[in-house]
Structure 1
Amino acid sequence: MNNTNNRRVGRYTVKLLNPPAIIATTSIVGPKEGKGPLKDYFDVVLTDDTNGKESFEKAESSMMYDAIQQTLDKANLKEKDIDYLCAGDLLNQLSSSNFAAREVDMPFIGLYGACSTMSESLSIASMLIDGGFAKYTIASTSSHFSSAERQFRFPLEFGSQRSLASQWTVTGSGAVLLASEGNFPRVTHITTGKVKDYGIKDPNNMGAAMAPAAVDTIYNHFLDTGRDGNYYDVIATGDLGKVGYDITVDLLKEYGYDITSSYIDCGESIFDNEKQNTCSGGSGCGCSAVVFCGYLYKQLMKKEIQKILLVSTGALMSPTTSFQGESMPGIAHAVSIEF
């Protein structure tokens, strides 16, 4: 009980007493992402978005498998060294993660937080090490434009017109290897989000649906820790896009927090929206995963930045609930990473 009390910081946040080190990451992206503003930071850029497989779903699963293997290679570790793999994706029954996990010799915890899954998996993987249950863990997520489109929207052959508020699901996978020790950036605080729903029903406007959850989580993180936007070099939301970015900035200002000097959104950063015709920006589990594992982690390792608050965001909807007229609840989880 004493350890629990020592770890709780306010209502929604825990402080890790044995903060795990992020000793390696890998980012794999598709051809479109490899032509965006962050192209030089990704470890692998595919020339073929099927990755040599016979379906987009198999391609997505293979990206996650490759990201995990390359991350192990960077740390000179084997599959048997990993105590837990925490992973998830957008597809039905976590099919991409399940089939990637089938190919590795690791205990597997499947997680679903929609596009918030990178921070969710990173939270659970970190807590397992902090609690003394593991020495090494891996957190991983993936998404694929083509597999997500035909599950959540329309077949690609339909050729539907995209609205200006819509977002382009990122084809990519990221893997994060955490260890109980090492001179690397560490996960120090975790703020677990609440489901927020303000009645947005348009599946082409996910930024507006997710932004209130991002605001609530960031606000509660600030209240719990006594920090503000000036504490972090970068506050990165997952995939709100241009629309959600503006809403988040405005709502946090109403709470008395101006984060504009440190705030980026991974979905807005990964594409050049005008040149690449991605409307409001990127989305998907892979969005915050590859931006963190590629761009942000490399900046940490160069010590160009030292403190990041990663706030992956997710729209907790499905085709079934949308067809039934339900709104889109949002969720966001925050992970503080400090060198």
Structure 2
Amino acid sequence: MKNNRLGRQTIRFENPPTILNTASIVGPKEGEGPLRDYFDKVECDDTCKEKTFEKAEEYFCNESVETLLHKERLKSGDIDYYIGGDLLNQIISTSFTAKKLGIPYFGVYSACATFAEAIQLASCIIAGEFALNIVVSASSHFSSAERQYRSPLESGVQRKMTAQWTVTGAGSMLLTQNSKPPYITHVTTGIVQDYGIKEADNMGTAMAPAAVETILSHFKDTGYKPDDYDLIITGDLGTVGKDITMDLLLREGFDVSKNYTDCGVEIYDESQDTHARGSGAGCSAVVFSGYLFDQLNKKELNKILFVPTGALLSPTTTLQGDTIPCIAHAITIENTPELGKEAK
């Protein structure tokens, strides 16, 4: 078997998978933000006429996958695997969607980095020629996440300025064997980092070191530098985590100020009073499936490093006073790859 590993954490695909299409469904607050024109569907009611916020999140997840399949005129039987996850206990939104789809299913969890984990696993399966078509998805809902991880909205707890707004929405992606750009050429799988943060309303600070570890490992393994990318975009750090990430990378000799941003920063603007902007498993999923995929198709972006981040806490560990372990997974996506020619 030919070794496609670069260093300890990165895989290079000689036959890179293709992102054939994407779909994104969001709630009303996301539809009022600066990326409104890039989403496939904006719901005017975040309950989607369901009885609970959890059922509403399931609706977003299912709707994104069904929209994706409809775009490509595919049926569930045309898909080899469905890989996805969400933030709720036992990833119920995704698992209930999988029940409706009837597709062989892998449920995965990396908190807000779940979309990237699903993409990495799907890419390995396709590159290994074990499947032709794989759908991946991730979802979240502001109200269901607040109920589970922090305080139910009915409690009226005042949010700290470091708190982020969990994105209500779901994104999905169809990956297939080598067809047309954009391609997934490299994946760098993160290592869990824990710098002692305990506050569940300070996710950006907790997750930033994980983003830095993965980005640095990616640069070390591939030889790439920030200037080799049109865009480096983390998934869920918000304004606080973004600033910390830039500072930590600069201390390591990498200035990313010209081409770095964060999905959580981009999805809302200052007028929406989300404090430190967006987060959630659905955050990176809808920003990629909406805005970033559009920019890649238009060749406005030709090579990006997509780095969703996740805080691996639970209500139990928070109540028990544990710190918050975090993870980040990086994916190189490009239109014109020079396969096997990493920068040196």
- TM class by shorter chain equals over 0.9
* 1:318 corresponds to which of 292, 314, 319: 314
**Per-residue deviation at 1:234?**
1.0
- In 2, Cα distance between the equivalents of 1:142 and 1:285? 5
In structure 2, the partner of 1:90 is 87
- Structure 1 residue 304 and structure 2 residue 300: aligned? yes
- In 2, Cα distance between the equivalents of 1:310 and 1:176? 14
Q: Any conservation in 2 of the 1:136–1:177 contact (CA below 8 Å)? A: yes
In structure 2, the partner of 1:214 is 211
* 1:142 corresponds to which of 139, 163, 172: 139
In structure 1, the partner of 2:155 is 158
Q: Any conservation in 2 of the 1:18–1:129 contact (CA below 8 Å)? A: no
Deviations 1:261-317 (A, max 9, x none): 111100111111x31110001010000000000000000011111111110000010
- In 2, Cα distance between the equivalents of 1:326 and 1:143? 24
- In 2, Cα distance between the equivalents of 1:250 and 1:156? 34
Amino acid at match of 1:25: T
**Per-residue deviation at 1:184?**
2.4
**Per-residue deviation at 1:174?**
0.2
Deviations 1:81-103 (A, max 9, x none): 11110000000001001101010
Amino acid at match of 2:255: D
In structure 2, the partner of 1:261 is 258
* 1:66 corresponds to which of 54, 63, 67: 63
**Per-residue deviation at 1:189?**
0.3
Percent pairwise identity: 56
**Per-residue deviation at 1:147?**
0.5
Q: How does 1:1-339 map to 2 (within 5 A)?
A: 2-3=1-2, 5=3, 7-272=4-269, 274-339=270-335
Deviations 1:20-79 (A, max 9, x none): 110110011000000011111111100110112111111111111111111111112111
Secondary structure, in 3 states, of the residue corresponding to 2:226? coil
Deviations 1:184-239 (A, max 9, x none): 20110000000000000111110000000000000000010000111111111011
Amino acid at match of 1:140: S
Amino acid at match of 1:301: N
Amino acid at match of 2:131: A
- In 2, Cα distance between the equivalents of 1:63 and 1:285? 12
- In 1, Cα distance between the equivalents of 2:243 and 2:302? 25
- In 1, Cα distance between the equivalents of 2:128 and 2:314? 34
TM-score (norm 2): 0.96
Mean Cα displacement is larger for which, 176-185 or 122-131?
176-185
- In 2, Cα distance between the equivalents of 1:259 and 1:137? 33
Q: Would you identify which runs of 4 or more consecutive aligned residues in structure 1 move more than 2 Å?
A: none
- In 1, Cα distance between the equivalents of 2:124 and 2:103? 17
**Per-residue deviation at 1:257?**
0.6
Q: Any conservation in 2 of the 1:196–1:330 contact (CA below 8 Å)? A: yes
Q: Any conservation in 2 of the 1:203–1:322 contact (CA below 8 Å)? A: yes
Unaligned 5+ residue runs, structure 2? Answer: 336-344
- In 2, Cα distance between the equivalents of 1:103 and 1:51? 18
- In 2, Cα distance between the equivalents of 1:143 and 1:271? 16
- In 1, Cα distance between the equivalents of 2:259 and 2:45? 35
- In 2, Cα distance between the equivalents of 1:240 and 1:130? 30
- In 2, Cα distance between the equivalents of 1:145 and 1:279? 14
